[in-house]
Amino acid sequence: MTAEDVGRRYGDYDIESFLGKGSIGKVYLARHRRIGRRVALKTVHLEQKFEDDEDRTEFYKRLQREAELCAQMQHPNVVTLYDVGYEDDFVSYLATEYIDGESLLARLRRTRPLPLAEALAIAFDVLRGLAYAHSKGIIHRDIKPANILLTAEGQAKIADFGVARPLNSSLTTTRSLVGTPNYMSPEQVKTTPVSPRSDLFSAGVVIFEMLTGTKPFASPDLSGILYNVVNLAPALANEINPEVPKSVGIVVDRLLAKKAEERYESAVEALADLDRASQNAEEIRPAADIETVFVADTVDTTTKHRRPVPAIWFWAITLILALSLTASVVGLRKRITKTETPTAVLTRAQVEEAMAKERALDVARTLAQSGRYEDALRNYDAYLLRYPQSIVARNERDTAARLFEESKPKAEITKTARKGKPQEAEAAPPVPPKPSSRWQRFKKWLRGK
């Protein structure tokens, strides 16, 4: 906060401290001098210049639109707008509800992935906020961690409706790319008309990131991100993080459907499905269904697709598992009949722990077998962090790391000798066998006798 900001006033608001820098200017913590209410004051201080009057007009229309849309909404999961300031008939500041907490972006920078219960609670709040906004005919169009604020109690609130738009709006006819690339829907990337289902896709990306700690469409460059949003089918969240129930992974996967009509019809429907899926979060989760295990199919150096395991392999593996399970049960019965009293009793918690360990290893093995070594290594590392004494997991991780290194393209030789190719090192002459001592020859003679 600079010296010129200290004691500065905007309308009826006195600046108390600097909160951060937004897309259109600075954000301050301010207090209304008459009623004492503290607000987050979003001021307009543009560093860049407008190319023409049309750009300037569109920018201020967007600010006015944000003010009008936010004024319509009063919901626990949407940041409340209290006041709007004007200068020469243009918006100069927005006074919104002050959230004494942090953004989801800041939270993810500290912890990736989030604990399951916390991630689900935030997901519920975001979907509730979207359900309310959509019921008012408002599409946010920029759902991302930076625009989700968390109170000190952990409640999530959707903020920044700066690029939001009412349904069937005709404020501008230009086909422009609006949103944040990693969280855009395929419709936004293609600059085609969007619907509330576009917000559901963006919410699915945010939920996926909270559950796995990774962005589903990440790429080193912008063109790669946009390509992935339109074409890449990411792995299920539960395949990346074994702590995520499969039922929750399926809900998130539907939110990320490429075609809008294949997603949930509304945020209310998605919320209901996620609620049902999360009911099983504390129960024993079954191992991943073999029919839904996918094998990586490399398209280029940054993009992977999935394809289902053929039916013939599914039934063959199922038969093998059934036979091995039968053999295990028979063997167990024989051991029980030989012993009148059990030597140890396993508690339910011990059984659940053993099953959870096996499931976690199965996920890592599946990823390694499908050639997704980086994902496999992350799963092995998470497993070893929890069970550092596991020799099996450590050996499998070492094998996966070796295969990962072998799968990398070998570096080309960029420097050669000045004259011809570098000569290969001459092979070392064979070392003659060391002559045996008299005692060794005597023992050999005795063995011959």
Residue-wise pLDDT for 231-254, tens only, equals: 999 999 999 999 999 999 999 999
Residue 316 falls within a domain, yes or no? no
pLDDT of residue 390: 83
Residue 437 falls within a domain, yes or no? no
Residue 2: is its pLDDT beyond 70?
no
Query: Is residue 264 located within the same domain as residue 376?
Result: no
As a whole number, mean pLDDT of residues 331-343 equals: 42
pLDDT tens track for 251-293: 999 999 999 999 999 999 999 999 999 986 554 333 333 233 3
Comparing 130 with 61, the larger pLDDT belongs to: 130
Which one of 83, 125, 142, 160 is the catalytic residue? 142
Query: Is residue 140 located within the same domain as residue 232?
Result: yes
What total of structural domains would you count in the chain? 3
Query: Is residue 107 located within the same domain as residue 189?
Result: yes
Query: Is residue 211 located within the same domain as residue 258?
Result: yes
| Chosen domain end from 97, 126, 143 | 97
Residue 91 corresponds to which tokens in the numbers above? 């918006």
DSSP letter at 437 equals: P
Check if 142 is active-site.
Answer: yes
Give 304-308 contacts, CB < 8 A, sequence gap 24+.
304/232, 304/372, 305/231, 305/232, 305/233, 306/233, 306/235
pTM over 0.85: no
pLDDT tens track for 340-365: 333 334 455 555 566 667 777 778 88
Query: Is residue 135 located within the same domain as residue 190?
Result: yes
| Chosen domain end from 283, 305, 340 | 283
State the CATH number of the domain containing residue 159.
Answer: 1.10.510.10
Q: Which residues form the domain of 208?
A: 102-169+177-283
Strands 138-139 and 38-43: unpaired
Say how far apart CA 209 and CA 241 lie, in whole Å: 11
pLDDT tens track for 166-188: 554 433 434 455 578 999 999 99
Residue 384 falls within a domain, yes or no? yes
Query: Is residue 87 located within the same domain as residue 113?
Result: no
Query: Is residue 246 located within the same domain as residue 158?
Result: yes
Q: What are phi and psi of 245, to 5 degrees?
A: -60, 145
Query: Is residue 35 located within the same domain as residue 55?
Result: yes
pLDDT of residue 329: 46
pLDDT of residue 88: 82
Confidence of residue 152 (pLDDT cuts 50, 70, 90): very high
pLDDT of residue 174: 41
Confidence of residue 389 (pLDDT cuts 50, 70, 90): confident
pLDDT, the chain, mean:
77
pLDDT of residue 426: 47
